[in-house]
Amino acid sequence: MKNFIELIQGCLTDVREIMPWDLEERLQENPDLLILDVREPYEFDAMHISGSLNVPRGILESACEWEYEETVPELVQARELEIVVVCRSGYRSVLAAHSMQLLGYKDVVSLRTGLRGWKDYEQPLEDAQGRPVDLDDADLYFAPRVRPDQMRPAADQGKRV
């Protein structure tokens, strides 16, 4: 049985990652580039890269195909476009990019470090109304918050579950 990180690492044999400075360069060189944000809508509304398309990871595969309730025409028609998939930390985007490759997308990559890395590289983010997000506020938003009940019980320390 694989754990989450091992699952991600397994996908990385097929998925290429780029760094935030690479995305900045790609945006300048390719105005048709599609930034696909696979976070949940409430995450996207809080802050995202300007011009990005939000399709949550949970409906991605059906959003990539015609004739589903979740179909996103812009995404279905983007199979030949350059696509950079983003999420909070760069993990969900690897899984999403892997799925998209299996579905026939030709030029899809994942943003390594996710939007946290984009923010650390001091690149702009905007909220749902298109207003710039203060990067200090983004620091607080992106800080990990693991509740005590989400931690491995002391009796299980060192065991893989």
The pTM for the full model equals 0.93
Closest CA to 61 of 16, 94, 101, 11: 101
CATH of range 16-123; options 3.40.50.300, 3.40.250.10, 2.60.260.20, 1.20.1740.10: 3.40.250.10
Which sequence spans correspond to the domains of the chain? 16-123
C-alpha distance from residue 9 to each of 60, 83, 158 (Å): 20, 20, 20
Tens digit of pLDDT per residue, the chain (161 long)? Answer: 999 999 999 999 999 999 999 999 999 999 899 999 999 999 999 999 999 999 999 999 999 999 999 999 999 999 999 999 999 999 999 999 999 999 999 999 999 999 999 999 999 999 999 999 999 999 889 988 899 999 988 866 666 55
C-alpha distance from residue 49 to each of 52, 56, 150 (Å): 6, 15, 29
Strand order in the sheet with 82-86: 17-18, 107-111, 82-86, 34-37, 53-54
User: 114: phi > 0 → left, psi -120 to 50 → alpha, else beta; which?
Assistant: left
